[in-house]
Amino acid sequence: MPSTQKKEKTEVEKEKSMILQKEMIGKLFKELSVANETGKKVVYTFVPGNLSELILAFDMLPVYPEINALQSGMRKKSGDYIREAEKFGHSEDVCTYVKCDIGMMLKGNIGPTGEKIPNPDLLLLSYTGCFTFMKWFESLEDLYPGVPVAMIHTPYQKDGKITEDMTQYMVKQLKEEVIPKMEKVSGIKFDETKLKGILENSAKAEDLIVKIFDTPKNVPSPIDAYFAGVYYIGPINIGFRGTSEAVEYYSELYKEILERVNKGLGPVTPEGELKDEQFRLVVEGPPNWTSFREFWKLFYDYGAVIVASSYTKVGGMYEMGFRHDSDRPLESLSEYCMTCYTNLNLPQRIDLLEKYITDYHADGFLVNSIKSCNSFSAGQLLMMRRLEEKLEIPVGFIESDLVDPRYFSYANIKNRLESFFQMLEQRKIILAQ
């Protein structure tokens, strides 16, 4: 099938939101690089179930190992880091985010902006859905002996609901484990009024995020909710949730996207604007980072737009109605952790994907199965079959990895996608008859 997209100049014009985002991220890594001099304390933690607001309330700085790993993947550094971790004893089966992160630390812990990331003052293990988090932080404990660990255990949504007991179980951990350790490390007393102000900003940013990820319901979709979506969720996932900068960034981004909707424009991509939307897809699973641009282009070349994805919800499921709530500060922090995508059971995930396919008028459903991520990969074939039976839409399955370049096979993925797009094309013809 021929490409429907005309090649355009590869330069992407910088919009105000992109400039704001770059400034925010640059500022965070700058602050981290001078943390030893300024005395700011540093917390290593995870994106799903992150307690950004509490970290901000104690004037500490967050480090997200998964973000460093994916950034290393995009900058083609992850292969070396993974090899370093394998030499250190981590097996081939270990999640490559873990190996990339450990390898980066072993090689001097230089972050994505080229500045050194300081050692942690606190390891905040928010255990939300993925068992690897536990093993990952055990490794960090070995690498940074003596650094205190605060663990918060998030109960899994086994029955698909959150009970008051589950919330109170988490609130107790916040009060008895997390907050006392943060007070001790930071030397700052917990100030609930300050936390409430931060939570108000979180809710404002969450309202905007929901509106932004709602815009692909337009035809054509003004954004790609997967490939561009991962940039959009950056600030809210790396510690800016709760800041006024995040509210400003998402307000600006939403304004820019609405302008695209009003002009009937398609998504901005690294290849230029996608002008001829052919296929609307829902994708399950994280993207490949080591060949991110080539991967995106495979979709662009066929006029395929991702209108919704589960991966962009990994740091929070705000469209299901959850908001951080300044009237229930610790309760809402707890409920946030429990509503993360990685904490949902399989039927909940299938229902969610079905809703995306229906609400966003998707033509097909695609799984990108990640070799080293058991947390996402478990059950994906079942999800695919259920959705295929129920909605009678074409489904596709490709395999890659997060940051291990050895597991991105361009030719294989291209072949599978071509067959998938042919199926979608055939279905369009049949439906038009």
List contacts with ligand SF4 (CB under 6 A).
66, 95, 97, 130, 132-133, 342, 373-376, 402
Give the Cβ contact number of residue 28 at 10 Å.
Answer: 20
What gap in Å lies between CA 129 and CA 217, rounded to an integer? 29
Q: How far is the CB of 55 from ligand SF4 (least distance, A)?
A: 19
Beta carbon nearer to ligand SF4, 130 or 307: 130
Q: Which is nearer to ligand SF4, 66 or 404 (CB)?
A: 66
User: How many whole angstroms separate alpha carbon 349 and alpha carbon 357?
Assistant: 12
Closest distance of CB 288 from ligand SF4, Å: 12
What is the rounded CA–CA span in Å between residue 78 and residue 83?
A: 9
Separation of CA 239 from chain center: 12
Longest dimension (CA), the chain: 70
The least CB distance from residue 81 to ligand SF4, in Å, is 15
CB of 61: closest distance to ligand SF4 in angstroms? 21
- Residue 318's φ and ψ, nearest 5 degrees, are -70, -25
Residue with token string 């930071």: 186
Q: Of 346 and 391, which CB lies nearer to ligand SF4 in the complex structure?
A: 346
* Residue 65 Cβ vs ligand SF4, minimum distance, rounded to whole Å: 9
Residue nearer to ligand SF4 on the CB measure, 139 or 375? 375
CB of 340 to ligand SF4, least distance (A): 10
Closest CB to ligand SF4 among residues 218, 339: 339
Shorter beta-carbon distance to ligand SF4: residue 65 or 266: 65
Phi then psi for residue 92, to 5 deg, are -65, -25
For ligand SF4, the closer of residues 131 and 410 by Cβ is: 131
- 65/267 with CB nearer ligand SF4: 65
State in angstroms the smallest separation of the CB of 46 from ligand SF4: 7
What is the chain's length? 433
Of residues 336, 229, 247, the one with CA closest to residue 287: 229
Neighbour count for residue 87 (Cβ, 10 Å): 10
Residue of 269, 273, 283 whose CA lies nearest to 363 = 283
Closer to ligand SF4 by CB, 342 or 369: give it: 342
Choose between 374 and 422: whose C-beta lies nearer to ligand SF4: 374
Residue 113 tokens read as 């902006």
Name every residue whose Cβ is closer than 8 Å to that of residue 200 and which is 6 or more positions away in sequence: 326
- Cβ of residue 90: shortest distance to ligand SF4, in angstroms? 12
Min dist CB 392 to ligand SF4, Å, is 31
Shortest distance in whole angstroms from residue 58 CB to ligand SF4: 25
**CA atoms within 13 A of residue 165's CA, in its CB half-sphere:** 4
Count of Cβ atoms closer than 10 Å to residue 91 Cβ:
8
Between β-strands 122-127 and 42-44, what pairing exists: parallel, antiparallel or unpaired? parallel
Residue 33 or 132: which CB sits closer to ligand SF4? 132
Long-range contacts of 254-260 (CB under 8 A, 24+ apart): 254/208, 254/211, 254/212, 256/15, 256/16, 256/17, 257/212, 257/215, 257/222, 257/223, 258/215, 260/222, 260/223
CB of 97 to ligand SF4, least distance (A): 5
3-state secondary structure 211-272: HHHHHHHCCCCCCCCCCCHHHHCHHHHCCCCCCHHHHHHHHHHHHHHHHHHHHCCCCEECCE
